[in-house]
Every structure is written in C-alpha cells, then in structure tokens.
Amino acid sequence: MNYDLIDICEKLEKDGYCLIDKFWDKNLDLEIENFFNNNIRPLEKKTKIDEYGNRCFSIADNEIQNNPFDKIKKSKEFIDLYKKILAYNNIETNNDLDIHNVISYQKNEKNLNKTISSKLHFDAFYLTIIITIKKSNNDLSGSTGSLILYPNLRKKSKSSINNYLFKFIFQNLIARWVLNFSFFKKKLRATTISVGNNKVILFYGYRSLHGNEALKNSNLKVNAIFHVFNPHKHSKLDSFIFNRNKKIRNNKLNN
C-alpha cells in the first residue's frame, strides 16, 4: 500500500475524515461479491420495513461464517493503517485491541417523507473504517444514505460515565433538532460525504457525531464497517450496551 500514513492522520485531524483507495486484490473482491450474493442478500427476506421505509439488518463478527472481511482485518495494510492512526492519537495497541466488524444492509422499500436513515450518534469505538460492499448508482442527492458528519466534536473521555454523559447531551431529540439548523451545521463544520464504490472512508466515530441521510428511490447500501478500539471496553455499562445491541441485531433477523 502506498499510502502516506502521516497524511491520512493529518487529514483525519483537520477534516475529520479521509477517503482512501481500497487496498486488497481482485480475488478478494470476487470473494466479497460471492459472499454478498450467497450469504448477505438472502437474509433480506427475513426483515421488516423500518420507520424510514427501509429493510435493514446488520450482522457482526462471528455471527456469520466465511466472512471475507476477516482477511481484510488480518491484512498487513489494515493493521498498519489503524496502528499508525492510534499511535498518532497516543493510543497504545496491544493484543487486547478490540476490532468489531459489522456488515450493514439497507434497502429502500417505501419512499417516506424522511431526511435521514439513521440518527446522529457517537460510536463506542474510537476509529471507524467503512468499506462499501454495494451501493446503487442512482446518486440523486439526499437519497443514497450518505454520511452526515460533525467532525471531531470531542476528545476521548476519561471515564465511561463521562462518555455517556456526553452522549446523553447530544443524542436526544432536542439536540438533534437544534444541530440540524444551518447555523450549528456551519459552526460545527458539519459535512455530508458520499463514498464511491471503490473507496474506503475513515473517521473518528467516537469523537464525531454522525448519522446518515435518507435512503430513497429503491436505493441499496451495504457496508462493511470496522470499529477499532473501544476506550471503555472494560466498563460494565459498555458491556451491557454491547450485549443489548447484539440482541437488537439478532432480533431483527429472527423475528
């Protein structure tokens, strides 16, 4: 990989995100394509339509077999990438480092009068790396589930409690409504990013408030998301929420 890792780190700090070219070969691309057709797409028929008019589900880590994204997770390029970024943030990496891989599927079924397809939130994990598996070509603005990003609003919290207090302040109905005013969008340098099929996006999911624009016009969006390093991994509250999310994920596919 010919990336300038320092350049990536600087872009992440300055712009809050960075787009890079994919770093795996054509064989793995083919494996991903087969995996999508044989293991992911068939699960759609088990799902219900959500409040945004989309069929959606996600599946994580070992919840699915033959996941080709395991190969990406173990690749030298990927490891070099996150190690460098975490080191730039003075975060030590060891064998205990947690990487949570989620495959997320969203297919628009009903055109509703919605402007978003997921609410603004902070991730539990510090670094977020998203690989596009499938994306419709219909790129009409506001209809493809583009990423909405309020970059680097916070630093790493000292404790899990502080982390949730911060989340509590921003992740509620009133805050989300206020943040949608153009004054605050401008003030907080909010941006909307459409990620192309052959690109990988990196951003600080823990530090940046983010969500997604609506998915409309039968558009499809399938991503492999890597969440890297949970600063509050050992807190009881975090384990509770992690397990709760797992149940929500599984319920979507088993009902």
Applying CB under 5 A, the residues found at the interface with Fe ion are 123
Q: Cβ closer to Fe ion: 8 or 149?
A: 149
Residue 187, both tokens: 């003030």
Residue nearest to Fe ion (CB): 123
Round to whole Å and give the CA distance between 253 and 248. 9
Side-chain-side CA neighbours of 59 within 13 Å: the count stands at 20
**Least CB distance to Fe ion at residue 210 (A):** 6
**Least CB distance to Fe ion at residue 117 (A):** 12
- H helices of 51-199, in order, are 69-74, 76-88, 160-170, 173-179, 182-187
Helix (H) or strand (E) holding 98: none
Q: Using alpha carbons, select from 48, 55, 108, 103 the residue that is nearest to residue 223.
A: 103
Q: Cβ closer to Fe ion: 123 or 213?
A: 123
Residue type, 216: K
**Least CB distance to Fe ion at residue 195 (A):** 14
Q: Cβ closer to Fe ion: 25 or 51?
A: 51
**Least CB distance to Fe ion at residue 204 (A):** 11
